[in-house]
C-alpha cells in the first residue's frame, strides 16, 4: 500500500469480512460475534487503520478514554489480582481504540472529586469501578451524573444470594467465587470426606460467597459441622496458628481456603505438623501458590477485563439482557513441593 492511508476496505480484506462488518465493529460492536470482532480489531491494529478516526467514532458512542482508580500499594499476596486486571484491561482497550487513564484517590469521596475533575476537563468518558462495597457512594454518584461505568465486583446489598441481576443502570462483572470453591471442594473430597473451609470472619460478600460454594458442595446447612469451619484474618501468620491449633488431634482430609494467603498459612502449618501432603487449595492463583505448588482457584482477570469492555461499549442492555457477567473461575491443580 506504500504510504497510502489504509481504508475500511483494506481492513475488511485483511480480516476476511465485509465492509459492513468492519463498520459494525466500529459503531455497534455488540452485534458482532466476539471472534469476528477480534479479527477485525487485529486487522485495524496491524494496518494502523486511522486509529484516531476509529477512536472518534467510538467517542461519539462513548469512552475513548476510560478512567480507573489505582489503590496505593498495600502489600499482601493477593493484591496482584487487581494489577493483573488493570494489565489485561490495558491490553484489551488498546486494539479497541480506547485509552486507559489511571488516577489515585485515598477514599470514595476523593475518588468522586477526582472523577468530577476528569469529566469537567473532558479527560475521560467512562469509569471502571473497583473495590465496590455495600452502600458504595461512587455508584450512586455515577448514576446520578450519567457517567457511564462498569464495576469489577457485584453489589452485595441484596437479600437472598447477594446477586442483584435486575438493574441495567449499574452494570458489573464479577468472578463467581462460589463456583470456584465448589470446584475446589469437589477436588478436596477426593482426599476424604473431612474437608475444612478456612475462611475470613463472616460478613464480607466475597468471603461469604466463597464459603457458600464449600457449604453447598458438602451438603451443609449454616449450622452444620462448625468444627470444619475455621476462621482467620487474611494473614499468613494467623492462618498458620489457627491451622496448627485446629489440626491438633482433628481428623482432617483437606483444607479449602478463601485466599492464597490463608492457604500458605495452612500449608506451612500442615508441613510443620508432619503432613506436607495434606491437600490445601487456595484462591487467586498467585505467584506464591505457583512457587510452592499449592493448588488454587484462578480468577481469570483477563476474562473479567474483556467482559468489562464489552459492557462499557454496549448501551443496549435492558432487563431482558442484563448488563452483568459472572465469570467462571478455574481450578489450577498442583502437587505441593514438599516444603
- The residues that touch a second copy, with contacts defined as CB under 8 A, are 48, 51-52, 55, 65, 70-73, 75-77, 79-80, 83-84, 86-88, 90-91, 93-94, 99-105, 113-114, 117-118, 120-121, 123, 236-237, 240, 261, 264, 268, 271-272, 287-288, 290-292, 337-339
Residue 80 or 189 having the CB closest to a second copy: 80
Residue 71 CB, shortest distance to a second copy, in Å, is 7
Q: How far apart are CA 145 and CA 136, in angstroms?
A: 15
Burial (CB count within 10 angstroms: exposed 0-12, middle 13-18, buried 19+), residue 307 = buried
Nearest CB to a second copy, comparing residues 218 and 258: 258
User: How far is 148 from 154, CA to CA, in rounded Å?
Assistant: 16
Shortest Cβ 321–a second copy spacing (Å): 29
In whole angstroms, how close is the CB of 305 to a second copy at the nearest point?
Answer: 11
Which CB atom, from 117 or from 316, has the smaller least distance to a second copy? 117
What are the strands, taking DSSP E only, across the chain? 65-69, 99-103, 126-129, 149-152, 172-175, 195-199, 229-231, 254-257, 279-283, 295-298, 324-327, 330-332
Distance of alpha carbon 229 from alpha carbon 131, whole angstroms: 26
Helix (H, G, I), strand (E, B) or coil at 184: helix
Closest approach of a second copy to the CB of residue 76, in Å: 6
Task: Find, among 210, 217, 335, 224, the residue nearest to 280 by Cα.
Answer: 335
Which residue's CB is nearer to a second copy, number 222 or number 287? Answer: 287
CA 307 to CA 255: how far, in whole Å? 32
Helices (H), 48-79: 51-61
| Residue (121 or 226) nearer to a second copy, CB | 121
Contact, 313 vs 30, CB < 8 A? Answer: yes
Q: How far is the CB of 190 from a second copy (least distance, A)?
A: 25
Give whichever of 41 and 208 is closer to a second copy, judged by the CB atom: 41
For a second copy, the closer of residues 21 and 126 by Cβ is 126
Contact 129, 150 (CB under 8 A): yes
Which of these, 152, 148, 130, 171, lies nearest to 65 by C-alpha position? 148
We find the least distance from the C-beta atom of residue 88 to a second copy, in angstroms, to be 7
Instruction: State how far Cα 275 lies from the chain centre.
Output: 33
Minimum distance of a second copy from residue 40's CB (angstroms)? 18
Taking the C-alpha atoms of residue 147 and residue 129, their distance in angstroms, rounded to an integer, is: 12
Amino acid at each position: 500500500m506504500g504510504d497510502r492511508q489504509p481504508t475500511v476496505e483494506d481492513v475488511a480484506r485483511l480480516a476476511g469480512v465485509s465492509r459492513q462488518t468492519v463498520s459494525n465493529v466500529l459503531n455497534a460492536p455488540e452485534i458482532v460475534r466476539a471472534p469476528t470482532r477480534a479479527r477485525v480489531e487485529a486487522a485495524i491494529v496491524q494496518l494502523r487503520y486511522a486509529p484516531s478516526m476509529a477512536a472518534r467514532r467510538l467517542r461519539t458512542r462513548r469512552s475513548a478514554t476510560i478512567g480507573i482508580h489505582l489503590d496505593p500499594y498495600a502489600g499482601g499476596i493477593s493484591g496482584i489480582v487487581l494489577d493483573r486486571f488493570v494489565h489485561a484491561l490495558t491490553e484489551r482497550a488498546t486494539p479497541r481504540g480506547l485509552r486507559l487513564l489511571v488516577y489515585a484517590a485515598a477514599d470514595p469521596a476523593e475518588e468522586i472529586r477526582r472523577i468530577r475533575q476528569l469529566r469537567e476537563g473532558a479527560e475521560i468518558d467512562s469509569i471502571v469501578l473497583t473495590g465496590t462495597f455495600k452502600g458504595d457512594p461512587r455508584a450512586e454518584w455515577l448514576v446520578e451524573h450519567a457517567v457511564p461505568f462498569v464495576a469489577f465486583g457485584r453489589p452485595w446489598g441484596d437479600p437472598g444470594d447477594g446477586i442483584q441481576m435486575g438493574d441495567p443502570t449499574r452494570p458489573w462483572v464479577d468472578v463467581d467465587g462460589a463456583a470456584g470453591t465448589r470446584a475446589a471442594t469437589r477436588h478436596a473430597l477426593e482426599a476424604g470426606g473431612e474437608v475444612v473451609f478456612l475462611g475470613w470472619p463472616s460478613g464480607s460478600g466475597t468471603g461469604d460467597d466463597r464459603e457458600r460454594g464449600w457449604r453447598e458442595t458438602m451438603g451443609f446447612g449454616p449450622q452444620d459441622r462448625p468444627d470444619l469451619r475455621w476462621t482467620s484474618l487474611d494473614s499468613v501468620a494467623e492462618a498458620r496458628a489457627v491451622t496448627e491449633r485446629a489440626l491438633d488431634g482433628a481428623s482432617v482430609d483437606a483444607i479449602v481456603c478463601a485466599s492464597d494467603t490463608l492457604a500458605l498459612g495452612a500449608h506451612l502449618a500442615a508441613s510443620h505438623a508432619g503432613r506436607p501432603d495434606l491437600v490445601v487449595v487456595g484462591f487467586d492463583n498467585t505467584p506464591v501458590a505457583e512457587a510452592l505448588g499449592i493448588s488454587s482457584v484462578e480468577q481469570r482477570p483477563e476474562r473479567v477485563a474483556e467482559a468489562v469492555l464489552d459492557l462499557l461499549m454496549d448501551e443496549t442492555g435492558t432487563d431482558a439482557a442484563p448488563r452483568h457477567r459472572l465469570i467462571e473461575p478455574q481450578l489450577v491443580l498442583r502437587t505441593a513441593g514438599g516444603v
